Structure formats: structure tokens, C-alpha cells
């Protein structure tokens, strides 16, 4: 087992990884930017190294700085969390070259899944259903016209290197196609450094359902059930739950088995998420795979009893699946609300000093957060400041528990998305489990803008 791990991240996920290391008796090294000197992840790690100015490109994304921090402190492994360097194949390679274990899949797999058009092809070959679309990147106007005629309208152009809900463009009519293609390419170039886009059929009212997987280094892959993530705003998840109200035991088993088989073929290792869209007829199609731990991993932890971060660490250290996860028993229902520092109506980020921070507790309530009273939320990073997660014996109990936990959560000094979550949880369609990815637009009476 590793002696010392460097956590190449900040905020709640850095703290979460430090907690897992503490429980495993592993020493920790935090890295931080100048804006994060007073952060909890810095306080709770055994050692901490400042890696640069506030701007992520000069600190949390600065590979030479992160690697030197690892070398100075003599760690054996790096946990990248989510975001930042977590899906950067080059970083994983540099770790390998520096004889540091990267806690995640192998660089070739990160690369494969990071090119979303290639990922589609690979998983299709491995037996997963994909949305009808272009074979790969759409190369030029001639191919664009051909693919569009084959796929039909509406279709969606997606950046091959895209992520975080960005770089997507819906095309409803042929006369919009060319302009959309050009805009999509220049947006992709700007945001992701490559203009490559691919085309896919646009599903009007899909649900987003994803499978959590783990693969050990001895060829064994398992899935830990699914998460329902259809409550989104601008393709960004707001509420996640497990299990999905839209899957029954039979479908879960069928699809789960396909996922496991496909990933065994690919040779997947460590934690990952296979994302699907479900159309109105219940058909499921792969959209992408994330090769890291996800923000919403706690809902899976609560319904399976598996500590996913510990499992990641154990697997990276070479342990077999049974050791890494222990026995798995699925039970109950879990829901997570992402609490963002933002105006609940306009969604404008709300940085500043938190004056009051009273997190709820009690039976079945978990709060993953690095926020505290008097902490300053810097404007430079993601606006998520806490995850409120509850578990109930069934969905109805989980909803009741989430409502009361939201009521008891007091954050003052900045604006948060708590009032929006209270509206979501009070909605009859949400309670009935009847929703798709456009639920929030309907709730707010907007087109999501
Ligand atoms: P990202 O990597 O940016 O998260 P995804 O491919 O995972 O992008 O898609 C994010 C969200 O965008 C999905 O959850 C869904 O709401 C929407 N989306 C993506 N592809 C389609 C599609 N073909 N039809 C309808 N909605 C889509």
C-alpha cells in the first residue's frame, strides 16, 4: 500500500480524498494556490505545498509545479480528484515517467475516452448501443451534408474534446447546418484547442442515466448500479440520485452486464462512469465515458456501502476487487443536491465571505464540503461549495429527508442554490420521478438561459 499520497485538487473533493487516506493510514500532501491558503484541504493534510497564483492554469493545472511538489515531498501516488488534471492523459504519462502512481486509469484509456467520437466507436465495437451519428469527426462540408442526411433532424454537433456541458450545438433544420458547423468548430477550437466535432441524433426528451464502474488491475470489472442525473441546467447536473426511478431490476441487470463486458474488453481500470441517454421509449444509448471519480459519487456510496475513493486507492496499489470494495449490498435510495455559490434566480456566481455556515445532520444526512463560516469563496474556481446527500430506505423517505435537510442548511453572506433545490424537491413531477433533461427549464419557465 502507498505510504503518502499527493492530492492534486482543491475544495470538497480534495478534503474527501484526504479523509479516505486518513482512514487508510496514508499520509497526505495538499497542493494549493495563493487564493486557497486558508482552505480546509490545506489544514487537514499532513503537508501542504503552494504551487502558484490563483489562476488554475498557473497552479492546479500546472503539471511541472504539481510534479515538483510530489517530488519534494516524496509521495508514491497522486490522486487527481475530478476536473483539473483528472482526465489529462499527458499528466498521467508524466506521473508514470516520474515513477508516481496515478490514481486512475492508464493514459491510453484516458486518451481514448477523452476523444468522444473515438470513445463512441470503441464502446460500440465492445457491444454498447450508441446514438446514431457520424462514424467519427465530421471532416468538411461534403461529409457534413452526407452525415446530416443519414442522421436526420434534429441533430447535435458535439466537440470531440468537449466536457462540462460545453461545446454542443443543436441543429433543427438543414438551412442552419452549415453555420452551426462553422460556429461549433470555432467554439471547440477556442474552448478545447481542437476544432474537431462529430454529429449525433438529438434526443428531444432524454433522461441522463450513468453507470458507476470499477476495474482492478487483474482484469476484473464490476458496476455499482446507476445514477439518475437528468435534473440539469445547461447540461450541468444539479440533482443526482441512485437508483434511477426509470430503471427496473431487469434492465439494470441487462445493461449493467453489457457495461461490464464492454469495459473488460477495453481493459478498463480504476473508477469510471459510463453515461447513457434514455429516449422516450426507454432505449438507452451511450454518450460518453468519464475516466475519473465523479462529483456525484456519494449517492452510489450510500446505496452500496462502498467507499469509492478508498477503492480507487486500493486498486491503484494493486489490490484485487474483493479486497478493494469489500462485500457489496445494495439498499435504499440516495439523493444529492449540489449547493452552488450562485444567485438561485439569475445563476450568476456569488463569490465572497461566508458569514454563517450551519450544515444539517441527523439520520441519513451527509455533507461533503470544504466551506465554513468566515471562509472566502474565491471567484476563480467552480461555484460548487457543498454537496448535500441523503439516504432513505426508499425514494419517498429520501425526498422527505432532503427537504428537511435543505430547510436546516443555513449559509449566509453569499447567495446559494438552496432555494432552487427546495423548489425542485417540492415539485410533483420530481416526486413522481417523471422528468427528463429539460425539467429545470420547465420548472423555471425558461429555455434554460
Ligand atoms: P459533457 O462531456 O460536456 O458532459 P455529454 O456528452 O455528457 O457532454 O452530454 C451532456 C448533456 O448534454 C447530457 O446529459 C444531455 O443532457 C445533453 N446531450 C448530449 N448529447 C445529447 C443528444 N444526442 N441528445 C440530447 N441531449 C444530449
For ligand 1, mutation pick of 119, 131, 159, 168 (most atoms within 8 Å of CB): 168
**Each residue's pLDDT tens digit in the chain (449 positions)?**
999 999 999 999 999 999 999 999 999 999 999 999 999 999 999 999 999 999 999 999 999 999 999 999 999 999 999 999 999 999 999 999 999 999 999 999 999 999 999 999 999 999 999 999 998 999 999 999 999 999 999 999 999 999 888 889 999 999 999 999 999 999 999 999 999 999 999 999 999 999 999 999 999 999 999 999 999 998 999 999 999 999 999 999 999 999 999 999 999 999 999 999 999 999 999 999 999 999 999 999 999 999 999 999 999 999 999 999 999 999 999 999 999 999 988 899 999 999 999 999 999 999 999 999 999 999 999 999 999 999 999 999 999 999 999 999 999 999 999 999 999 999 999 999 999 999 999 999 976 44
Distance 207 CA to ligand 1 centre (A): 10
Q: Among 42, 6, 16, 4, which Cα is nearest to 310's?
A: 16
Known catalytic membership, residue 314:
no
Distance 317 CA to ligand 1 centre (A): 33
* pLDDT for the residue 430: 98
Distance 16 CA to ligand 1 centre (A): 27
194 Rama class: left (phi>0) / alpha (psi -120 to 50) / beta: beta
Nearest residue by C-alpha to atom 15 in ligand 1: 235
> Ligand 1 within 6 A of 161 CB?
no
* pLDDT for the residue 447: 61
Distance 4 CA to ligand 1 centre (A): 37
CA distance 145 to 135: 14
- What DSSP assignment string belongs to 69-138? HHHHHT-SEEE--SSTTTT-HHHHHHHHHTT-EESSS-HHHHHHHHSHHHHHHHHHHTT--B-SB-SSS-
Domains and CATH numbers, the chain: 4-103 (3.40.50.20), 132-201 (3.30.1490.20), 207-444 (3.30.470.20)
* pLDDT for the residue 95: 98
* pLDDT for the residue 446: 74
CB atoms within 10 A of CB 190: 11
Closest atom of ligand 1 to CA, residue 275 = 7
Strands in 187-220 per DSSP E: 197-201, 207-215
For ligand 1, mutation pick of 152, 277, 290 (most atoms within 8 Å of CB): 277
> Ligand 1 within 6 A of 232 CB?
yes
Nearest residue by C-alpha to atom 22 in ligand 1: 202
Catalytic residue among 16, 292, 338, 366: 292
Amino acid at each position: 500500500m502507498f505510504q503518502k499520497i499527493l492530492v492534486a485538487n482543491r475544495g470538497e473533493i480534495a478534503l474527501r480524498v484526504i479523509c479516505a487516506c486518513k482512514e487508510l493510514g496514508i499520509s497526505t500532501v495538499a497542493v494549493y494556490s495563493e487564493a486557497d491558503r486558508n482552505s480546509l484541504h490545506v489544514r487537514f493534510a499532513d503537508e501542504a505545498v503552494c504551487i502558484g497564483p490563483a489562476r488554475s492554469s498557473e497552479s492546479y493545472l500546472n503539471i511541472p509545479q504539481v510534479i515538483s511538489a510530489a517530488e519534494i515531498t516524496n509521495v508514491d501516488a497522486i490522486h487527481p480528484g475530478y476536473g483539473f488534471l483528472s482526465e489529462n492523459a499527458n499528466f498521467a504519462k508524466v506521473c508514470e515517467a516520474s515513477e508516481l502512481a496515478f490514481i486512475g486509469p492508464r493514459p491510453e484509456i484516458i486518451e481514448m475516452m477523452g476523444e468522444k467520437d473515438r470513445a463512441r466507436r470503441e464502446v460500440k465495437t465492445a457491444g454498447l448501443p450508441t446514438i446514431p451519428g457520424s462514424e467519427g469527426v465530421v471532416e468538411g462540408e461534403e461529409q457534413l451534408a452526407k452525415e446530416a442526411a443519414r442522421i436526420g433532424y434534429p441533430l447535435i454537433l458535439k466537440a470531440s474534446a468537449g466536457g462540462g456541458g460545453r461545446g454542443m450545438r443543436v441543429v433543427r433544420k438543414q438551412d442552419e447546418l452549415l453555420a452551426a458547423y462553422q460556429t461549433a468548430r470555432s467554439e471547440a477550437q477556442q474552448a478545447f484547442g481542437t476544432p474537431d466535432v462529430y454529429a449525433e441524433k438529438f434526443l428531444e426528451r432524454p433522461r441522463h442515466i450513468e453507470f458507476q464502474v470499477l476495474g482492478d488491475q487483474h482484469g476484473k470489472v464490476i458496476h455499482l448500479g446507476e445514477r439518475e442525473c437528468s435534473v440539469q441546467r445547461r447540461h450541468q447536473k444539479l440533482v443526482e440520485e441512485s437508483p434511477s426511478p426509470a430503471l427496473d431490476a431487469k434492465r439494470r441487470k441487462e445493461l449493467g452486464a453489457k457495461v461490464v463486458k464492454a469495459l473488460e474488453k477495453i481493459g478498463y481500470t480504476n473508477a469510471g462512469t459510463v453515461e447513457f441517454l434514455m429516449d422516450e421509449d426507454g432505449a438507452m444509448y451511450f454518450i460518453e465515458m468519464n475516466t475519473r471519480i465523479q462529483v456525484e459519487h456519494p449517492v452510489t456510496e450510500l446505496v452500496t456501502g462502498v467507499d469509492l475513493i478508498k477503492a480507487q486507492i486500493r486498486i491503484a496499489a494493486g489490490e484485487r476487487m474483493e479486497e478493494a470494495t469489500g462485500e457489496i449490498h445494495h439498499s435504499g435510495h440516495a439523493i444529492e443536491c449540489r449547493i452552488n455559490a450562485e444567485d438561485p434566480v439569475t445563476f450568476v456566481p456569488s463569490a465572497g465571505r461566508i458569514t454563517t455556515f450551519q450544515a444539517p445532520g441527523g439520520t441519513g444526512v451527509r455533507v461533503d464540503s470544504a466551506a465554513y463560516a468566515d471562509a472566502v469563496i474565491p471567484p476563480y474556481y467552480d461555484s460548487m461549495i457543498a454537496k448535500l446527500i441523503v439516504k432513505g430506505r426508499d425514494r419517498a423517505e429520501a425526498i422527505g429527508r432532503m427537504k428537511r435537510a435543505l430547510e436546516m442548511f443555513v449559509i449566509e453572506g453569499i447567495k446559494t442554490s438552496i432555494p432552487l433545490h427546495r423548489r425542485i424537491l417540492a415539485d410533483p413531477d420530481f416526486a413522481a420521478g417523471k422528468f427528463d433533461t429539460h425539467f429545470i427549464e420547465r420548472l423555471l419557465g425558461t429555455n434554460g438561459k
